[in-house]
């Protein structure tokens, strides 16, 4: 159960105890964090679960599949180097302390 902190665009922090094996998107939804919309329910079809992974964590995560890469180019908020689709990342034990920033707009 790693602790992961989601940070809204306005700076509000939401520390949560994440379950391993569940996606970062599902973790946000389960904790009623509004900055993730996830219109397609995690099918990698909507890019409304866009997030920015803070600092070194970005490099430590498993590389993205081409689909995620393509979808990110069309997210509502401009893609950055740290951009990921949260539905495509599964929580693992070593994510303890990870910080995930959320964009102001998802659609």
Q: Which residues bind ligand FES (CB under 6 A)?
A: 25, 38-40, 42-49, 85, 87
| Options 24, 71, 91, 95; binder of another protein; rule CB under 8 A | 71
Q: How many residues contact another protein, by CB under 8 A?
A: 22
7 token code pair: 């940070």
- Under the binding rule (CB under 8 A), the answer on residue 43 touching another protein is yes
Tell me how crowded residue 69 is: count the other CB atoms within 10 A of its CB: 15
| Options 1, 9, 30, 59; binder of another protein; rule CB under 8 A | 30
Question: What separation, in Å, do the N-terminal and C-terminal C-alpha atoms of the chain show?
Answer: 31
Supply the minimum distance, in Å, between the C-beta of residue 93 and ligand FES: 23
- Under the binding rule (CB under 8 A), the answer on residue 44 touching another protein is yes
- Under the binding rule (CB under 8 A), the answer on residue 63 touching another protein is no
38 token code pair: 């996830």
Distance CA 34, CA 89 (A): 18
- Say if residues 43 and 85 touch (Cβ distance below 8 Å): no
């Amino acid at each position: 159960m790693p602790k992961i902190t989601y940070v809204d665009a306005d700076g509000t922090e939401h520390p949560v105890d994440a379950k391993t094996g569940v996606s970062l998107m599902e973790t946000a939804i389960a904790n009623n964090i509004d900055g993730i919309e996830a219109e397609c329910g995690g099918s990698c079809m909507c890019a409304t679960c866009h997030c920015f992974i803070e600092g070194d964590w970005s490099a430590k995560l498993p590389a993205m599949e081409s689909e995620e890469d393509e979808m990110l180019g069309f997210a509502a908020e401009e893609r950055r180097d740290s951009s990921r689709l949260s539905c495509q990342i599964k929580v693992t034990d070593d994510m303890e302390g990870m910080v995930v920033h959320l964009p102001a707009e998802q659609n």
